[in-house]
Amino acid sequence: MIGRLRGILVSKQAPWIMLEVGGVGYELEVPMSTYYDLPAAGEALTLVTHYAVREDAVALYGFATEAERRLFRDVQKVSGIGAKIALAVLSGSSVNEFARMLQAGDVAALTKIPGIGKKTAERMIVELRERSQAMISPLIDGIRNGMPGDAIGEAGIALQQLGYKPAEIARMLKDAQPKDSPEDLIRMALKSAFRG
């Protein structure tokens, strides 16, 4: 099984990318949530992956964060939902937004995601509502190595309440240091947002 790839981004044409790892080019399908945060071709890139083998195909999917991959896998556990709809979920909302839709039982918002009708939305709410609490996490994968979880968590919650999306928060906090307090992290994040 292939769980993670680190290499050079060779090409990208939504929703497909090619990542060269040790001289081998891997074609991956990525959700738009990941696609929008990709670097330019020729730059280094690390993605967590999901390797799927079906009767008629083998597929490799790439994600910017572990939370996205977890959501992709969880959504497919709902009967009648496959990879195409799971990718549409991630392309149409962030992990936290999707979890909030499930928690609120918001059928109308879920049906705005391509491929999800009213019955499917209702089934998702019933089958995923309990898991959705674990999906809501301000801890952004890739930036918490060596970081105290509570500092990142507090800063992430504050930034979400200000209206920033998880991908934006990850970019804003990419230079966080273990000694930083939540207040320092928020200040740094807001400065980076205003510079960008």
Q: For residue 113, how far is the Cα from the chain centroid?
A: 16
Q: Which of 149, 139, 146, 155 is CA-nearest to residue 177?
A: 146
User: Residue 24 pairs with which residues in a beta bridge?
Assistant: 21
How many Cα atoms within 13 Å fall on the side-chain side of residue 45? 30
**Distance from C-alpha of 116 to C-alpha of 88, rounded to nearest angstrom:** 9
- Higher-pLDDT residue of 165 and 17 is 17
Domains and CATH numbers, the chain: 4-63 (2.40.50.140), 67-135 (1.10.150.20), 149-195 (1.10.8.10)
**Distance from C-alpha of 184 to C-alpha of 116, rounded to nearest angstrom:** 41
Hey, what amino acid is at 93?
S
136: phi then psi, degrees, rounded to nearest 5: -75, 105
**Distance from C-alpha of 41 to C-alpha of 45, rounded to nearest angstrom:** 10
Q: Note the pLDDT tens digit of each residue in 55-96.
A: 888 999 999 988 899 999 999 999 889 999 999 999 888 887
Q: Note the pLDDT tens digit of each residue in 132-187.
A: 766 654 444 434 444 445 577 677 777 776 777 777 777 777 777 767 887 888 88
Q: What is the DSSP letter of 117?
A: -
Q: What pLDDT score does 1 carry?
A: 77
Hey, what amino acid is at 8?
I
Q: Are 49 and 1 in contact (CB under 8 A)?
A: no
